[in-house]
Structure formats: C-alpha cells, structure tokens
Amino acid sequence: MTKNILRIILIILILCWMYVVFGFSSANGEKSSGTSLKIARLFSKDEEVISKIEPIIRKIAHLSEYALGGFLIYGLFLTFDRVSVKLQVVLSGIIRHIVCNYR
C-alpha cells in the first residue's frame, strides 16, 4: 500500500512538473528573458553584469527543470520491482525527452 501512495504522489508531482514545463515553453522569448532578468537583478545592479549572467541563469533554469522531471519519472519507475534498473533509466530519459521537446 505504501508504494501505491508513493506512486500517486509522484504522478501528481509529474503532472505538476509537466504543467510548469508547458507553461514556460509557451512563453515567448521576451517574456522568458524578462523572468531571467528579474532573477539576474537579484544578484547585481550593474547592467553589464546582468546582461552576462542572464543567459547563464536561463541555462541553469532549463537544466534544473529537465533534471527535476527526470528524477521524478525515474522515482516513479523505482516503485515497480519488475522493471530492471537499465530499463527504468532508459524509459525515464525517453519520457522526459518527449515532454521537454513537445512543441
């Protein structure tokens, strides 16, 4: 029963993650850049520094959201005993890739 509760929680978290990914993906470049700029301005007031760290912040944000999805999906697969570890890794990577590249 504990695995079933964990599966339900992970599925809910995966659906929330997918909602966030699709929401960020639907934003145009200007809006996305604006969000990154707000974060960059928390670190510096110098516009030159902000313009240099803003692309880095965007890359870190992309990496973080994709990594979170991979961990959540892999965590869901870990709750199934009959699936080998290699298959769990491959399937979680494929599903994350499909979700993150959907347009």
**Tens digits of residue pLDDT in 88-100:** 778 877 887 787 7
Q: What is the mean pLDDT of residues 27-37?
A: 77
pTM of the predicted model as reported, rounded to 2 decimal places: 0.72
Q: Flag whether pLDDT at 29 surpasses 80.
A: no
Q: Flag whether pLDDT at 22 surpasses 70.
A: yes
CA dist 41 and 38 (Å) reads 5
**pLDDT recorded at residue 14:** 93
In a domain, 34, yes or no: no
In a domain, 45, yes or no: no
In a domain, 35, yes or no: no
CA dist 51 and 13 (Å) reads 33
**pLDDT recorded at residue 102:** 66
64: containing domain? 2-27+58-101
Residue 40 burial (10 A CB sphere; 0-12, 13-18, 19+): buried
